Amino acid sequence: MHIKRAIDKLPGGMMLVPLFIGALCHTFSPDAGKYFGSFTNGLISGTVPILAVWFFCMGASIKLSATGVVLRKSGTLVITKIAVAWVVAAIAARVMPENGIEVGMFAGLSTMALVAAMDMTNGGLYASIMQQYGSREEAGAFVLMSLESGPLMTMVILGTAGIASFEPHLFIGAVLPFLVGFTLGNLDPELREFFAKAVHTLIPFFAFALGNTIDLSVIAQTGMPGILLGLAVIVITGIPLIIADRLIGGGDGTAGIAASSTAGAAVATPVLIAEMIPQFKPMAPAATALVATSVIVTSVLVPIITALYSRRVKRAHLSVGQRAAIK
């Protein structure tokens, strides 16, 4: 059987399939972890410790040295994505209820869900798209996108936008595993190679544990808002990213479109934020479901839109070159 091959055909499959299986377990047998106890309970309820190890390994996998082109491109995209998410958070905090929308078509939508969906780019998706439609340097720009992974940037955005108050030690606690891994990975290339192997391996484990915090009825309720959230991520972050890529990054905007996605790791952000700030706990299940849907929507649409945009830009450049040759 080719189970992995089948899962990999789905957008974000290695994250979303275990997440859905975990949600099934929680929906139909919410006390299974307590019943079995021991290691089974640890696997079902271990979202935070598993993510802590994943975050450490993610930090270790990032190489400090990179070419100027890669740093300029990746820095432009990352800063733009975070800046847009901050603006969205500041606006949403003034027009949305403090605990999110609780009734109506957009029930479950909250500022936390908006920020979590918008502030993290799917680096793997970006790299694979740019290998086809961009240059090698542009594909390598995902090097800094890993810095967006985890709850740190969401915490910074929510804190600086005046939506939540985080104690300094909580910021340190959130980023410390990443920094320790980053330091060790850059001090010793062999350690970087060793820990980097676990980054993809751990994804289905924390996805399954995360799924065990979700009731499938919540996913059903947030289906359409989740789809609209995914579309909003592409439009609201995509346009500024195109502009920034053209004006600052030195590209033609294709990299901007390719970066307008929601990272699979963003699905874990609402739960992690809620662990640190109890006021977000009521919003976490719906926000998780919304972000998961956004991951699927952007994973499907961003490659298609990028391909169409790239072809249009190349045709335009070709037409300009032909006119110049005639003259």
Q: What is the pLDDT of residues 119-138, one digit of tens each?
A: 888 776 787 688 778 766 66
Is the confidence at residue 324, as pLDDT, over 60? no
Q: Which of 58-67, 169-178, 308-317 has the highest mean pLDDT?
A: 308-317
Query: What one-character-per-residue DSSP string does 125-154 give?
Result: HHHHHHHHHS-HHHHGGGGTGGGG-SSHHH
With the CA atoms of 37, 43, 46 and 47 taken in that order, what torsion angle do they form, in degrees rounded to the nearest 10? -140
DSSP state string for 26-82: HHH-TTHHHHH-HHHHHHHH-HHHHHHHHHHHHHHH--S---HHHHHHHHHHHHHHH
**pLDDT reported for residue 160:** 76
pLDDT at 317 exceeding the cut of 70: no
Beta carbons within 10 angstroms of residue 219's beta carbon: 23
Q: What is the 3-state secondary structure (H, E, C) of 252-300?
A: CCHHHHHCCCCCHHHHHHHHHHHHHCHHHHHHHHHHHHHHHHHHHHHHH
d(CA 14, CA 299): 13
How does pLDDT run across 133-165, given as a tens digit for each residue? 876 666 666 666 766 666 777 777 887 777 766
Would you tell me how many other CB atoms lie within 10 Å of the CB of residue 45? 15
Average pLDDT in the 283-292 region?
86
Q: What is the model's pLDDT at position 238?
A: 94
Contacts of 148 (CB under 8 A, 6+ apart): 78, 81, 82, 119, 120, 121, 263
Burial zone of 87 (CB within 10 Å; 0-12 exposed, 13-18 middle, 19+ buried): middle
d(CA 284, CA 110): 9
| pTM of the predicted model as reported, rounded to 2 decimal places | 0.72
Q: Which architecture does CATH list for 13-314?
A: Up-down Bundle (1.20)
Residue 16: the pLDDT is 73
pLDDT above 70 for 82:
yes
pLDDT in tens, 181-234: 989 998 999 999 999 888 888 888 877 887 787 777 766 666 788 889 999 999
Q: Does the pLDDT of residue 60 top 70, yes or no?
A: yes
How high is the mean pLDDT of the chain?
81
Taking residues 26-32, report their average pLDDT: 89
pLDDT band at 12 (very low <50, low <70, confident <90, very high): low
| Distance from C-alpha of 216 to C-alpha of 116, rounded to nearest angstrom | 20
Residues 6+ apart with CB under 8 A from 124: 142
CA distance 91 to 145: 24
Residue 99 has pLDDT above 80, yes or no: no
